[in-house]
């Protein structure tokens, strides 16, 4: 899902939370909103690692090119995983969730990340691309360093 949709959906849900629970601190609502799309920073990191370029427009172009290449491979019957996104892993979510048990700020960050991940999963299922995402850091490590 493109960042603009994560920003829009995150803003809508943040406003809904603010209306439904007005006693919630605006800082917590802002943390929820920001984490609902800033989790995608790992996409930017991947683009930088693969291109060596820091610009957001270069990162966008990198991912656009990657998506076009993937569509070409799928037409040939080849389905491969995409780049590894560490902030999207179950383990990272668990880490932030555990921190959320001790610090309220992390709880709202965790909620924003979960919302982001659920919208990603919906988008991946809808586009029939669930195979592209690695959800487990441990699995990625195993495949990268031990074997397929």
The residue extents of the domains of the chain are: 3-145
How far apart, in Å, do the first and last CA atoms of the chain sit?
27
Using alpha carbons only, give the angle 28, 31, 35 rounded to the nearest 5 degrees: 150
Can you give the pLDDT of all 148 residues of the chain as single tens digits? Answer: 888 999 999 999 999 999 999 999 999 999 999 999 999 999 999 999 999 988 888 988 998 898 888 888 878 888 877 788 899 999 999 999 999 999 999 999 999 999 999 999 999 899 888 777 788 888 888 888 887 6
Euclidean distance between CA atoms 87 and 68, whole angstroms? 24
What's the confidence (pLDDT) of residue 148? Answer: 62
**Among residues 72, 92, 70, which one has the least CA distance to residue 81?**
70
CB 132 within 8 A of CB 81: yes
Give the contacts of 40 (CB within 8 A, at least 6 positions apart): 3, 6, 87, 116
CB 3 within 8 A of CB 37: yes
Which helix (H) or strand (E) segment holds residue 115: the answer is helix 104-126
């Amino acid at each position: 899902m493109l960042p603009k949709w994560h920003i829009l959906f995150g803003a809508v849900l943040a406003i809904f939370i603010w209306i439904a629970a007005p006693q919630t601190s605006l800082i917590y609502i802002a943390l929820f909103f920001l984490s609902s799309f800033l989790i995608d920073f790992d996409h930017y990191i991947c683009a930088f690692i693969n291109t060596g370029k820091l610009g957001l427009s270069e990162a966008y172009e990198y991912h656009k090119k990657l998506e076009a290449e993937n569509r070409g491979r799928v037409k040939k019957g080849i389905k491969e995983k995409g780049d590894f996104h560490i902030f999207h892993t179950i383990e990272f979510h668990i880490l932030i969730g555990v921190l959320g048990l001790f610090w309220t700020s992390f709880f709202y960050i965790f909620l924003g990340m979960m919302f982001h991940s659920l919208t990603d999963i919906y988008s991946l299922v809808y586009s029939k691309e669930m195979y592209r995402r690695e959800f487990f850091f441990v699995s990625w490590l195993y495949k990268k360093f031990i074997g397929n």
